[in-house]
């Protein structure tokens, strides 16, 4: 039974994240120290103590989530005495989690991942003035209907599907007025519920083009090695190992939809029957169960969960 490691995206952050890991494992403390040094910032203190209002800023949440994911991985490796390649066939990450996946697979250095995500967060925030963009979850609609709703809601403004997370859970992103129109239209098309999301920018849509250009420039300066196991990419929902292809996909990812539902189904088609979410929260494990009940989904972010996972592996 093949296994894939998956890595969470923004929204899984919470004050206190990583603290228990740091208290229990030296390998986790080393990761948090390295990220702090790379950023010239006490990000770990912000993660452990808050305030939450500062932690949830995109430029802090993104490297923070990555650092917890890699801390869990390093603990598993140090305590279990094994390398990633020996235990998993693929990696994948939701949005920023793609950087965590690449760091886990040895394609990106930890310090480079932290700096890229700090820049990514700032660039995304700069791309659209606060209040001009929005995102909304359309619950109970499949992707095809959600795409029709987004197209109809645009009326000359940007409105697009940003995340295809699971059956009946699609997120739209774009200009605030257009997203508000999409919420109304979704209700008319039979959505069970549609809710504005508490985000600071409209991610994964064409409004993020300035951020994509910033990331293209930054990624061009960073060493990217072939991952030790293939990455199933957000943009294509397909495995990729070529560093230059990955570099291009990371740029495209800023403005295009995260094809998470398709990515999980592709992993299953590749023989994966167990997904293990490494890091804060259990969002991806929950989505996996909604996408395909035949896939075993586990999550590890706390010391007890890490110890249980060590036994399972």
**DSSP code per residue over 216-252:** HHHHTTS--PPPSS-EE-TTTSSEE--HHHHHHHHHH
Q: Which of 12, 67, 95, 100 is catalytic?
A: 95
CA-to-CA distance for 271 and 263, rounded, in angstroms?
13
**Counting Cβ atoms within 10 Å, is residue 263 exposed (0-12), middle (13-18) or buried (19+)?**
buried
Cis ω before 51 (30° cut-off from 0):
yes
CA-to-CA distance for 313 and 303, rounded, in angstroms?
15
Q: Which residues contact 90 (CB under 8 A, 6 or more apart)?
A: 2, 4, 5, 229, 230, 231, 232, 239, 267, 270, 272
Q: Which of 12, 94, 100, 204 is catalytic?
A: 204
* Spatial CA neighbour of 253 closest among 268, 240, 271: 240
Active site residue 95: yes
Active site residue 69: no
CA-to-CA distance for 110 and 102, rounded, in angstroms?
9
H-state helical runs in 57-194: 58-80, 84-87, 97-104, 110-127, 143-154, 176-188
246 close to 231: Cβ distance less than 8 angstroms:
yes
Backbone phi, then psi, for 304, in 5-degree steps?
-65, -35
CA-to-CA distance for 126 and 118, rounded, in angstroms?
12
150 close to 142: Cβ distance less than 8 angstroms:
no
DSSP 208: G
Residues taking part in catalysis: 95, 204
């Amino acid at each position: 039974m093949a296994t894939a490691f998956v890595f969470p995206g923004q929204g899984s952050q919470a004050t206190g994240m990583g603290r228990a890991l740091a208290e229990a494992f030296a390998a986790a403390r080393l990761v948090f120290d390295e990220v702090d040094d790379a950023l010239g910032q006490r990000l770990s203190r912000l993660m452990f103590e808050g305030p939450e209002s500062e932690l949830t800023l995109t430029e802090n949440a993104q490297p923070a989530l990555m650092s917890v994911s890699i801390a869990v991985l390093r603990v598993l490796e140090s305590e279990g005495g094994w390398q990633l390649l020996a235990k998993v066939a693929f990696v994948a990450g939701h949005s920023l989690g793609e950087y965590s996946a690449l760091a886990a697979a040895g394609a990106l250095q930890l310090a480079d991942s932290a700096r890229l995500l700090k820049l990514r967060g700032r660039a995304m925030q700069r791309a659209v003035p606060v209040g001009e963009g929005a995102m909304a979850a359309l619950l109970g609609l499949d992707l095809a209907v959600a795409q029709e709703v987004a197209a109809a809601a645009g009326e000359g403004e940007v409105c697009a599907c940003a995340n295809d997370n699971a059956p009946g859970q699609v997120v739209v992103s774009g200009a605030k007025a257009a997203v508000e129109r999409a919420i109304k239209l979704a209700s008319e098309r039979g959505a069970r519920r549609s809710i504005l999301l508490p985000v600071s920018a409209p991610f994964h849509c064409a409004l993020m083009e300035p951020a994509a250009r910033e990331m293209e420039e930054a990624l061009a300066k960073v060493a990217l090695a072939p991952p030790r196991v293939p990455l199933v990419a957000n943009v294509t929902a397909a495995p990729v190992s070529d560093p230059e292809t990955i570099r291009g996909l990371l740029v495209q990812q800023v403005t295009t939809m995260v094809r998470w539902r398709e990515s999980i189904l592709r992993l299953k088609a590749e023989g994966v029957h167990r997904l293990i979410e490494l890091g804060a929260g259990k969002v991806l494990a929950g989505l996996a169960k909604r996408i395909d009940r035949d896939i075993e989904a586990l999550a590890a972010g706390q010391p007890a969960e890490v110890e249980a996972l060590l036994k399972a592996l």
